[in-house]
């Protein structure tokens, strides 16, 4: 295993995001991530349909810290989402909508995990080769094709 930090090594008190008119530190962000990760299943794939960018980031990083793959379709059109759900039996949808956005697929609304101020004290370490996302192509030449992306590849791209 070749572990790297879920977030780059900076002071945990450093602001990471702005939400509802205030700064959210890296420690509080990680606290939200780890709280949501505890509620996620131990295996399977997730479909992150959060409309709020902060909620999307928390859900994505919670999945990564739990070792789960997030499915990222090329469109949020209902027919595309239904096709993705059919391709991934057992899919769990994460979102911030009051009503499940995809009928017949289990849904976890994550709003409750975004309100606590229990900061994390350590940054989780993630294996460089851990699969984190299943990204779909546009489908312009036929049916959209899924591609698996690893944490290490994402980490290198954002450095």
The tens-digit pLDDT sequence of the chain (159 residues) is 789 999 987 789 999 999 989 999 999 999 999 999 999 999 999 999 999 999 999 999 999 999 999 999 998 888 889 999 999 999 999 999 999 989 899 999 999 899 877 888 889 999 999 999 999 988 888 888 899 999 999 888 887
**8 vs 10: CA distance, rounded Å:** 6
pTM greater than 0.75 (yes/no):
yes
Instruction: Answer for the pair 87, 143: CB distance below 8 angstroms, yes or no.
Output: no
CATH no. for residue 76? 3.40.50.980
Other CB atoms closer than 10 Å to residue 113's CB: what's the count? 22
Domain encompassing residue 70: 3-158
Number of domains in the chain: 1
The pLDDT of residue 141: 83
The pLDDT of residue 156: 87
Helices (H), the chain: 26-39, 53-66, 78-87, 151-158
Query: Residue 14: CB partners within 8 Å, gap ≥ 6?
Result: 25, 26
């Amino acid at each position: 295993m070749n572990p790297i930090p879920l977030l780059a090594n900076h002071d945990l008190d450093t602001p990471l995001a702005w939400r509802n008119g205030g700064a959210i530190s890296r420690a509080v962000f990680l606290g939200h991530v780890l709280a949501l990760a505890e509620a996620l299943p131990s295996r399977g794939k997730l479909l992150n349909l959060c409309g709020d960018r902060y909620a999307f980031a928390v859900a994505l990083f919670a999945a990564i810290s739990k070792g789960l793959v997030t499915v990222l379709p090329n469109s949020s059109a209902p027919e595309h989402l239904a096709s993705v759900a059919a391709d991934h039996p057992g899919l769990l949808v994460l979102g911030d909508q009051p009503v499940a956005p995809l009928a017949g697929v289990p849904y976890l609304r994550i709003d409750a995990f975004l309100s606590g101020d229990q900061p994390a004290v350590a940054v989780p370490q993630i294996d460089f080769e851990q699969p984190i996302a299943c990204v779909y192509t546009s489908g312009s030449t036929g049916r959209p094709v899924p591609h698996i992306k690893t944490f290490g590849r994402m980490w290198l791209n954002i450095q």
